[in-house]
Structure formats: C-alpha cells, structure tokens
Amino acid sequence: MATLGWRRCASAGDETDITIPITDLDKTVTLARGWYAKGFRLFKMKVGKDVESDIRRLKAVHLALPDISFIGDGNQGFSRQDCLTFARGVKRFGGTMVLLEQPVVRDDLDSMAAIRRETGIPVAADESVRSLADAQEVVARGAADYINIKIMKTGVAEAVEIASFTKASGLKLMIGGMVETRVAMGCSFSLVLGLGGFEVLDLDTPLLLTSDPVTGGYRYEGARLQPWSRPGLDMKAAPSPNVTTIE
C-alpha cells in the first residue's frame, strides 16, 4: 500500500496539496514548477479525460520534480479499466501516487472497491458521499479508504456527522472544497483544527484565484495553512471583489 511522503504539523499549521488542471504538457510542467518553488510537494492532478495523456502529464511532472507525490483526481471520469491502466502507467515511470480521488462515477461503488483491491492505492470517495447515508453505504461496501469532506456538498452540520462517522468506522479523512474564497476555506480549516484526524488537506482553491477579496483569518505560508487567534473566522470581504480563476 502506498504511503504519504509528506508530514503535517498541527502545532505549526497544516499543509495542503495544490491542484494542477488538465492542460497541455508544457503548461502542466510550468505550473508544477511554479508551485514547487512555493513549497508544494503534494500535487493533485486532474485526470480522467484521456488516460494516456494523463500518464504522460504525470510522468513529465515526475521527471521535472522527482521528489513530489501525486493525488489522481478523476472527478468520475475514468472507467474501471482506464483507472487500472492509469495506475499501472504511473507505477511504471516510478511516480508516487498516494491517493486516487473519485476515479469512477459516484454510484459505481463496486469499481471503487475493485480499484482499491487491484492497485493497492488508497481511494477517496468524494462525489460518492453527499450525505451521511452515502458515507454509510461506502463503508458498508468497502469502496474507499478516505472520505472527502466538503461543506459545500453537505452543509457544516452534516459534514461534522460524516467526519465523526468516518473516524468511528476506521476510514481516514480528507477535506476539500469547490472554487471558494477563504471564507468557506476558513470554515473548513476550522473543522480540521476542531475535529482533528484529517490526513489529507485539499484547501487550495483560494490560491487559484487571481486576487483574494478576503482579509484577515488564516493565511498561507507556501503549502502551510497558519491558524488565526481572534474570535470567529476573523475575516472581512471587499465590497465588490473582481474574482476570476486562473488555469
């Protein structure tokens, strides 16, 4: 079973991955080098559109930055066979794949269980878990090693219930988000700090915005999230932010 090649230190902050979108080979490597220079070592690669192209992109990043680790985020795009082909391809070039996130369509729990079994790589359920009942089904079917908590999927209260159930069931916790500002990310980071037990943080989306309309609250120091000390989230938003995303 693959293991994580990075560490989190709760006393000094928590490290997030960084997301690399599906784009051409040169831009993929350029983006990866840029984030690497800022201290990121866990790269969440969007995959699932073209398996051979996915393998080539990850190989190019690996050759450029051999000490980094990968999460392969399929966003439900793979078939079972394509995911197995993808995993074998990454293994052939020596890449470190620590997690396969939602490789197949959310209802195909049998394929998720098979991918866990046949690759030996941990699988994270994301779109497959939109409620506590979904989490219970994933656990019952042996379909995942991690459950990805997102407050935008479930709301905060049910996210806490799912996280508690996940830990009690012996699965591991991941936390992520949609394309959110630091207000929502701050709320998610609060769950990390308050509940504990989150092994994989995917709290990078504010870093993918061209500008940050929010002041105060937690802050990023490279890949590390540093907590705040004042009450609440301690954030203020600009009145009319011009927020767009970059690739």
- Domains, the chain, ranges and CATH? 14-205 (3.20.20.120)
CA distances from residue 80 to 105, 134, 135, 166, 197 in whole angstroms, order as listed: 10, 20, 21, 24, 29
Whole-angstrom distance, CA of residue 218 vs CA of residue 221: 10
The residue that leads in pLDDT, 51 or 209, is: 51
pTM score above 0.95: no
Average pLDDT over residues 136-155: 97
163 is written with which tokens? 């996280």
DSSP class per residue in 87-110: HHHHHHHT--EEEEES-S-TT-HH
> Sign of torsion, CA 190 170 164 134?
positive
The pLDDT of residue 244 is 56
Strands 69-73 and 97-101 come out as parallel
DSSP 8-state symbol, 13: B
> pLDDT band for position 210 (50/70/90)?
confident
Angle at 105 between CA 103 and CA 106, to 5 degrees: 100
- Find the Cα–Cα–Cα–Cα dihedral 25, 26, 32, 34, rounded to 10°: -170
The pLDDT of residue 15 is 95
Average pLDDT over residues 170-188: 95
The pLDDT of residue 10 is 39
Count CB-CB contacts under 10 A for residue 8.
17
> pLDDT band for position 3 (50/70/90)?
very low
> pLDDT band for position 6 (50/70/90)?
very low
pLDDT > 70: percent of the chain: 91
| DSSP reduced 3-state for 147 | strand
Element spanning 31, H or E: helix 25-37
Closest CA to 233 of 151, 166, 173, 161: 151
Whole-angstrom distance, CA of residue 116 vs CA of residue 103: 11
pLDDT > 90: percent of the chain: 86
Q: What is the pLDDT of residues 66-121, one digit of tens each?
A: 999 999 999 999 999 999 999 999 999 999 999 999 999 999 999 999 999 999 99
Please determine, for residue 169, whether its predicted confidence score (pLDDT) is greater than 50.
Answer: yes
Segment among 134-148, 175-189, 232-246 with least mean pLDDT:
232-246
Average pLDDT over residues 211-220: 92
Residue at 204: amino acid letter: D
Please determine, for residue 60, whether its predicted confidence score (pLDDT) is greater than 90.
Answer: yes
Please determine, for residue 5, whether its predicted confidence score (pLDDT) is greater than 90.
Answer: no
